[in-house]
Amino acid sequence: MIQDLRILVVEPDPDRVSDIVDALREAGWLDVKALAQISALVRTVKTFSPDIVLIDLANPDRDTLEHISFATETSKRAVALFVDQTDEGLTQAALNAGVSAYVIDGLKKERIKSVLETAIARFNYMRQMQSELDAAKQALADRKTIDRAKGILMRQRGVSEDDAYNLLRKTAMGQGRKVIDVAHALVTAADLLP
């Protein structure tokens, strides 16, 4: 279990807030802030900078879910949303908004620890997948740029593809740069010429 988490609890009922904060502290999470009004979510997230946000809503709607996604910056922190009721569309909207845990039938004190641990694990898994996807997209873009640079060299110098790549690599080594940086500079320069 991750101990040193900053947790923001959004709950308008003071009695429920007390129960939630007690449950979090019993689980070992001590850095907890409670917020009664969801309208103050953006400001509180900016000032408190929580690792995870717990939100208890009776009846969410799509606009509220979009507001939560924007306000909590779900790409930067886990969000656990507890609702009293839902439908398939709202469940899907919550997941699309980046909510890490969407728990139906409200927030129960005895479930807080397991739900938070699950939300954190899912958030970390999704962040790792996004990081891998971003890296794969960048590698593909780099590959395209290098192929384009090789094509430019092949046409201008009349060399083979292997020779063009070797020329890019040799230039990069001679300048202490990466092959992609040299390829990008070559492509940019070629785009500037008529």
Residues 121 and 152 in one domain: no
Residues 142 and 126 in one domain: no
Confidence tier at 2 by pLDDT (50, 70, 90):
low
| pLDDT tens per residue, range 55-73 | 888 777 777 787 788 877 8
- Residue 93 belongs to what domain range? 6-132
Tell me if 1 is assigned to some domain: no
pLDDT score recorded for residue 141:
96
Residues 94 and 152 in one domain: no
Q: What is the 3-state secondary structure (H, E, C) of 160-172?
A: CHHHHHHHHHHHH
- What CATH code is carried by the domain that includes residue 154? 1.10.10.10
Residues 169 and 102 in one domain: no
Per the structure, the count of domains in the chain is 2
Residue 9 DSSP one-character state: E
pLDDT score recorded for residue 165:
96
Residue 90 reports pLDDT greater than 60: yes
Q: Which residues contact 120 (CB under 8 A, 6 or more apart)?
A: 2, 5, 52, 78, 100
Single out the residue in 111, 132, 153 at which a domain terminates. 132
Tell me if 148 is assigned to some domain: yes
Residues 159 and 106 in one domain: no
Note the pTM of the prediction, 2 decimals: 0.68
Report which of 10, 2, 190 is spatially closest to residue 99, judged by C-alpha positions.
10
| pLDDT tens per residue, range 180-189 | 999 999 999 9
Identify whether the C-beta of residue 70 lies closer than 8 Å to the C-beta of residue 27.
no
- What CATH code is carried by the domain that includes residue 32? 3.40.50.2300
Mean pLDDT of 171-180: 96
Residues 59 and 146 in one domain: no
Tell me if 112 is assigned to some domain: yes
Identify whether the C-beta of residue 59 lies closer than 8 Å to the C-beta of residue 35.
no
Residue type at position 167: L
| pLDDT tens per residue, range 118-172 | 888 888 888 899 899 999 999 999 999 999 999 999 999 999 999 999 999 999 9
Collapsing DSSP to helix, strand or coil, 87 comes out as: coil
- Which residues are 57's β-sheet partners? 83
Q: How many helices (H) and strands (E) does the chain have?
A: 7, 5
Confidence tier at 3 by pLDDT (50, 70, 90):
low
To which H or E segment does residue 55 belong? strand 52-57
CA 131 – CA 125 distance, rounded (Å): 10
